[in-house]
Structure 1
Amino acid sequence: MRKFGNTGGSESNMRIKVAVGYLLVAVAAVFAVWYIYMRIAPLAVREDATQGAAYRKVLVTGTTISSLYEASYRANIYLQDPSVDNLEAYDRAIDTVYGHIDSLCRLQIPPEQIGILEEITELLKWKKSNLIGLAATMSRLREREVLRHDSLLRALERKDTLSPVVVVIEKPVHKDTIRLVPSERDRFWRRFAGPLMTARDTLKEMPRSSEMPVDTLAPVVSQKMPSDVGGARLQAKPALPSRRRDRTAEAIRQQQHTLMLIDQTINDRATLLLQKMNDENIRAALDEIGTRDRTLKRAGESVLGIALGALCIVLLFVALIFSDINKNKRYKQALEEARRKAEDLMENRQRLLLSISHDIRSPLNSIMGYVELLSSNPSPDKVARYTASMRYSSAHLMELLTNLLEYSRIETGKMTLDAAPFEVFPLFDQTLGMFVPSAERKGVSLVSDNRAEKGMYVKADAARIRQVLINLLSNAVKFTDRGSVTLSAVVRSGDGNGAPLRLEFAVSDTGCGIAPEEQKRIFDEFSRADTAGKEGSGFGLAVVSRLVELLGGTLELDSRIGEGSVFRVSIPVLSVSVSEIPKPVPAEAPPRVAPRSILVVEDDPSQRAMLGEILKSAGHRVCFCDRLEQCVDKLADVDMVLTDIQLGGFSGYQLLSAIRSASEDWARRLPVIAVSASDRLEKESDGFDAVLRKPFTQSELLKTIAGMPSPDPGYDLGELWEMMNGDEEAVRTVVETFVSSTRDSLKLLEEYEASRDWPSLAKLAHRMLPMFRQLHADRTAADLEELEKSGSSAEPARISFLVERAIGSAKRILGRMSGSL
């Protein structure tokens, strides 16, 4: 059945889709904002960080250069006054420079710049050592000059006249070349950052100037002083100190020149460092600009993609909404159509019930009519004919009920034809005979024009043809109040080109007839002619039309108002060879099997009585029950169970489950036959040993019972027959005595077990054991033997279990023995 959604649900779905569409667009917008922020924010942070780092580098570099100038100034002060305080001030200035250099190294500068800083550090160390040496040399020179000056003054004080002493300061200019030798650490950084560092010369030629005081006092003295001994001594003494002073002055000049070169190199390195940092900042700025441009471009492309995606989402949901609108319209149209069909279906429900009763009423009327005829005129010559027609009508009624549900297969095209050989003449003759009682009651005569040859067989689906014929005859008799109903039938050969035979028959009546405008719809479901006072819903003719179409035949109608109607049917059939003609099979006698004890579980009294009569007439022993507990208690006395599926207080499935879950092995193997009207019940899948479908015949019931495995009686009378030399009466006497005494022993066994009198119970088991062994009742004998040996040491639970099992098996044996007597 087709299902349609409701409009309220469609509108609700539409609102949900609109809300989801807005939500997805909002999510896309939020995602776009978040994406842009995640792309742009790092740029700003990175730019600030880059600018901050560059600013810190430039600031620290400038501070370092200022500190270098401060250190140079302190070095000059120290050279002028090489005191401890000035040296400490210089050391503090140098330590400040070292601190700034260390700060620069921690700013993650390139290896090339680190090499420059290390070079400056080495030069500062070298400068400090040279500065201290130069200060010491100059200090010693000053001390000598002071001493010499003092000695000259003392010498001049001893003379009366002295020429003025003129001291000339010479300032010669020299050009020296200095080679800077890098330290080991500097060499490492040069190798590491060599490709990045600009080449610089290690040889430099620089002008240098030095001031050297020249003593002009000696010449003057030598010119003016007399050449006496004192004068000679005075003239000769300055020669040696003058050379020493020249060497000291030369050393001082070299040290001063070295310091000057170191300062110049330090300044060059600092300038180079600033240039490198400036280049690095420019390059970093350009890289940052490029990165920012690329990031902004990607962000723009991503935002464009998100916008396009949002647009696609909007278009998609617009399409879905329009689809829902159209679907809603279709749903409304479908609902309107379904409502109309539902109204027609509700209106036709009663018609369907009437049509079913219409199809069933004909064979029922036939049976009831023949019953009335038998009761009013039970002449022996008519009994056989009437009962044969009743049997035929009953068979058709059963077949009609079975095939009634198959009508739906015609609608779906799933109905299949069962073509088989059948004799043509009896089919039409017997079918017409079904309507004799109803026609006689109305005073309508039935005329047979059966021109089919007797003994002629054809191959087709006889059941479908008979159903067509019954429906046509039923309608003809129903709508004919006077006159006759004629059935004509003939088998015509083909055209000689291999075409099949054609079975043609016609049903004509002298009834009221059908109007031309009604003939077009007479074969539709639940359609009927406008005939007042006539029952029926027109379902029979609809079945006729569909069946004839399924059989590959044709159906024609010729009717006139007030004159009657003629229905002509032509169906293709196949010819049958002699070998295919079925041989007459005598009525199958019910199979004879050994009498069995059968438990019938049925809550319907009429069904229970019928089953009991059939089974008892076949020699079987029958017991009944309608409660689950009662059925379980009777399992030990029966050989099989015949149970209905639908019962009052329980179901056949529950009984089957109780039997299959029993503790005794014999109970689990007990055959169980299900009786059901359902076509869906299968013995393999549902656990039953056989399934007997309602309605069933006596033969089918007895055949099903005969197909069950023979029961195991649980004992063997072979030895007993040998002992009695085959004397049946003696065997019967012994068996009767055994059954009677064993029943008394079983009661005692229950009493001893209830009172826990274990010794008496063991003695009783000892007395019962020999006879069960002789009967080869092995299961019961094994339990009795264990009870005999148990004594007082056995567990009460085990003894109770053995007693219960021994009593159950013994009762089962006694029940079967009693049934065989």
Structure 2
Amino acid sequence: MQPKRMKYYLLGLFITGMILFIVLQFNSAKNIRKLITGNEQLLQELNVKNELQKLQTNMAKTDSKVRGTVISQDTMHITGIEADIAIIKADLKEINKIVKNDSTEKLLTQLNYLVDEKNNFNLLVLDTFYSKGKWSAERMINNQRGKRLGEAITGILHQLDTTRQTEVNRTTHLIDTSGQKAQSWGTVLVFFACLTSLLAFLYITSRIHRQEQLIEALDESQQQEKKLAAVKEQFLANMSHEIRTPMNAVLGFTHLLQAQPLNDKSKEYVSAIENAGQNLLEIINDILDISKIESGMMRIEATAFSLRSVLHSLNTMFRPKAEEKQLHLSVTIADEVPDILYGDVMRLTQVLVNLTSNAIKFTAAGEVSIRVTKIWSEDNAVRILFTVRDTGIGIEPAKLESIFDRFNQAEASTTRKFGGTGLGLTIVKQLIELQNGFISVESKPGEGAIFKVELPYTLGDFLPENGDDYYAENDQLPLHPDVRLLVAEDNKMNQNLLRHLLSSWQLQYKVVNNGKEVLQALDKQHYDLVLMDIQMPEMDGYTAVQMIRNDRHSTIPVIAMTAHAMAGEREKCLQIGMNEYISKPIVEDELYRMIQVYTGKLTPRELPATHAHHLHENGTQQLINMQYLHDLSKGDSAFEKNMLEQFITQLPEELSLLKKAVVAEDIAAIRATAHNLKTTVSFIGLEAHLYPILEQLEQLQENNYHPHLVAEIFMTLKQLCLQAIQEAINILL
């Protein structure tokens, strides 16, 4: 039987069963309702019989009281006679309410009349007894009128009882019939439920058995697929190595040839070899990438990274190509976009490089722009929009859907004119989808193209650092192996600076991010000196040094490092338990002298030479003063570049935090962020320009806070910082 037909059969059986079940349930419920109604009627009839009996009893009781009073001449017998008569009337009223119908209306009328007459007669006998005496009352009793009234009432009550008894018999029969039917339908319903359950159990058991067979077959298939995937992965790895190795050799020797003295013809040939080799290597990389994606071997590896650093590198990479074609290349990132993200930075870079390369390749004149904005955020999740826009040849609207297909370009002549495999956008699309992202394109012929990429990320707290080792980052052996320093600093630029200084002095050191980590490090290892920042997250320097002195009773030297410029700060540090105080930006010679004094293990050193200030081309002094960085680097351009790149990355992030604090009027956050900014800007000589502004924010008080003034201060600070960032970028370029 075909699976589709089997599905319809099962559906029909299910619907038939549901209809039968509803019919059975309906009939069962109907008989149960009749049973309930019959029980209610039976209770009502029993209540009627009870009320008739009560009326007859109360009437006899009243007659007995009247007769007893007359015969014994004792008025105690008639105590409460009015209440008894009232009870009789109430009983009669209740009987009228629950018995009245067409068949009993005449009997009830007679009963009401006779009961009233009987009550009046008894009252008349009592009046005669009081006014005329016993004998007159006895004559009234003996004249048989009262007896006739009583017998008439008894007869009517008997007729009513007989009528109600017939109704009771009918109701009892109805109850018995309904109960039997309800029991029968219930039995049928139980049988049907059992039969249905049995059939369902048999069907489910058969399906489970079939599913187990399919699972076993699937397991065998998966094992085979894994073996084939392993073979394919090994093949791709071999292909990658065997093809790229000779290609890299070809390109390497081509570069060596270009450095040799060649005539014009030879230079032309060598240049052609290099271009062909680069194109071939690009094609090979695309084919290997698409093979990895389609075989499921492409993995997304998430790490913390700086988004602004990625964009800065992208700008640096493609600016020469853009200038070569006389194109304007711009990279902008909105202020609200967070810098430190958690995701696959390699795949993001691959996507942006591919889209930017295409934009420059297909644009003959005009500009290429890359813009990054935030389109959604919630808790730690954020969605970033990357927009790559160009003014190139554009794409026909009918071809927009197919440009992401592999080996497909918008026009047949595109490959011949611009080169490429037609795999670039396919790889981009699949890489984006691997990251749960989305890509779209808008374009018209001759008007350029706009590629929009949405990617989800989570916020990263900080970039992972490799400076926790005890040795310099260049793996240089320490000159003083018996000197161990512990550095507590949360600002990344300050960490980089201290690593550079301590590595250049060939000292052993360990970098931690807060006071809590200081205590943990001291518990595990002996150190000769602690360089302690004051303001840190989780546990600040003050608290840490108090716990070192009071809880651990340690006398290890502690040197405070802070950007606080307020009076009395040095005295406060010394009073709490610090041994010395050094202000930021750190002076190299002063720090070396303090380490030498408190460890007693370093030799004196010569003072560094000074450098002249940089000037703009128009002769005016620029904001950035590289003298401090030159003094520290001693000609190490890689260190200077690293510090400038860190500054370009870190300063916008801290400005964003300060903006949020200003908008929220969070004075404590404003003060803390302004303090951190002082450390960040000090390394490139901005303290003369920015410290006065930052100190105004750092010294804000709640009782003297003016939002408009603070907003103006922030805007001034922001303009100066943006100018400083642009100057840093120009220095790097």
- TM-score for the superposition, normalised by structure 1: 0.32
Considering only CA atoms, is the larger Rg found in Structure 1 or Structure 2?
1
